[in-house]
């Protein structure tokens, strides 16, 4: 079947390549003030390209994405041990020119040795070199300096900002990356990186990857816009469906097949069954009515809602099956329906609109 799929896909590709590129043009956005154009939807590989799915499915996801005009593929050395993500990206390169793609990677968790993680100069250089080798790429477009989230049990050997900026400048000057960005950093940390870069004549970051969805808004809606205006840093967001919470599949408890029932996602389960979690499910029911009115699904509404924020350069989708991906990509068609009326209706249901910058001053 893979063989068949490949052949038909090759035919399709020949025909749709130009169409893709045209569509792509239509919904590309600027990545911060870098001048780089990225599709407003990107394919994240978070949880996706791991043990959960087969190679065939992964390749299918890849194909669906770029046939829909996605030019942004976000990988990471840690995802699935860096193996599958790389293989598929490698395959993908046989179909499209490298220059038409924006491939990013995230550094933090590499190998198992102590020296193979963190943001030491050693790991930034070795980790990126290793990732490039595995992906058989000469360079990535953006390399992200990740930070472990608060669920990470280990101590954080976070080096001085100056060291990170210097190492990032090095890999860019070596041609191993075009730009560098941050992931999960506070606005202040990004500002510090910018400050250090200015002071020591190094290269500042162009983009922050942040979590953004209906239930988590402040950083992307309040802090990053300020950063954008001050220093031109753009926003790439992930988890538009809040780790699957917004798909509605947890409406009646946690199904056995879902991610939240897995052992390592205990925290997710706890979040869902908490009081806050139940309140969220109630709000999702209301949002579902809006989705029905607009003639789309709840996930599509959630993704389109992210896209309505023009400060977001790209929303990274991280689905594990082709149908879901196709559904999510359909959010593009919902975007024009996100009128100010609809948006304020959603705001009213959510009740979590963050204070604007103006109020923040007081």
Distance CA 189, CA 83 (A): 31
DSSP notation for 80-117: GGGTHHHHHHHHHTTTS-GGG-EEEEEESB-SSSGGGB
Query: Which of residues 159 and 330 has its CB atom nearest to a copy of itself in the complex?
Result: 159
**Identified catalytic residue from 79, 108, 212, 250:** 79
Min separation Cβ 215 and a copy of itself, Å: 12
Evaluate whether 207 touches 222 at the Cβ level (below 8 Å). no
What lies within 8 Å, CB to CB, of 89 at 6+ separation is 62, 73, 75, 103, 135, 137
CB-nearer residue toward a copy of itself: 85 or 233: 233
Residue number with CB closer to a copy of itself (106 or 123): 123
For a copy of itself, the closer of residues 28 and 58 by Cβ is: 28
Q: Is 79 among the residues known to form the active site?
A: yes
Tokens of 136: 């058989």
Q: Please, what is the minimum distance in Å from the beta carbon of residue 339 to a copy of itself?
A: 23
Contacts of 30 by beta carbon, 8 Å cutoff, 6+ apart = 36, 37, 234, 313
Q: Is-contact 59 125, C-beta < 8 A?
A: no
Q: How far is the CB of 96 from a copy of itself (least distance, A)?
A: 8
Distance in Å, CB of 157 to a copy of itself, minimum: 5
Residue of 164, 162, 117, 124 whose CA lies nearest to 140:
124
Minimum Å distance from CB 329 to a copy of itself?
Answer: 17
CB neighbours of residue 20 within 10 Å: 19
Residue placing its CB nearer to a copy of itself in the complex, 158 or 251: 158
HSE at residue 191, side-chain half, CA atoms within 13 A, is: 11
Q: Are strands 312-317 and 140-145 parallel, antiparallel or unpaired?
A: unpaired
| Catalytic machinery residues | 79
């Amino acid at each position: 079947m893979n063989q068949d799929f490949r052949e038909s896909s090759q035919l399709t590709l020949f025909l749709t390549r130009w169409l893709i590129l045209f569509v792509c043009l239509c919904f590309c956005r600027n990545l911060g003030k870098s001048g780089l154009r990225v599709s407003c939807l990107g394919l994240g590989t978070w949880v996706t390209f791991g043990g959960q799915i087969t190679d065939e499915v992964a390749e299918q996801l890849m194909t669906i994405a770029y046939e829909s005009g996605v030019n942004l593929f976000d990988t990471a050395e840690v995802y699935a041990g860096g193996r599958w993500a790389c293989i598929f990206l490698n395959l993908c390169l046989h179909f499209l020119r490298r220059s038409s793609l924006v491939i990013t990677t995230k550094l933090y968790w590499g190998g198992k040795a102590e020296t193979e993680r963190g943001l030491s100069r050693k790991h930034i250089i070795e980790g990126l070199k290793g990732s490039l080798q595995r992906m058989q790429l000469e360079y990535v477009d953006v390399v992200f300096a990740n930070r472990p989230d608060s669920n990470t049990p280990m101590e954080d050997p976070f080096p001085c900002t100056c060291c990170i900026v210097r190492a990032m400048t090095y890999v860019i000057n070596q041609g191993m990356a075009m730009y560098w960005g941050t992931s999960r950093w506070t606005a202040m940390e990004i500002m510090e990186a910018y400050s250090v870069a200015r002071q020591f004549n190094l290269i500042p970051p162009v983009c922050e990857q942040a979590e953004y969805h209906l239930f988590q808004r402040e950083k992307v809606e309040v802090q990053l816009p300020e950063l954008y205006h001050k220093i031109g840093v753009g926003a790439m967001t992930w988890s538009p469906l809040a780790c699957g919470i917004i798909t509605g599949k947890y409406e009646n408890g946690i199904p056995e097949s879902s991610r939240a029932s897995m052992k390592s996602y205990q925290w997710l389960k706890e979040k869902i069954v908490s009081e806050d979690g139940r309140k969220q499910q109630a709000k999702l029911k209301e949002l579902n009515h809006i989705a029905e009115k607009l003639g789309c699904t709840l996930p599509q509404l959630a993704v389109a809602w992210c896209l309505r924020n023009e400060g977001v350069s790209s929303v990274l989708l991280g689905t594990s099956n082709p149908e879901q991906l196709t559904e999510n990509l359909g959010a593009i068609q919902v975007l024009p329906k996100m009128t100010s009326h609809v948006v304020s209706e959603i705001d009213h249901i959510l009740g979590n609109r963050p204070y604007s910058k103006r109020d923040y001053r007081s």
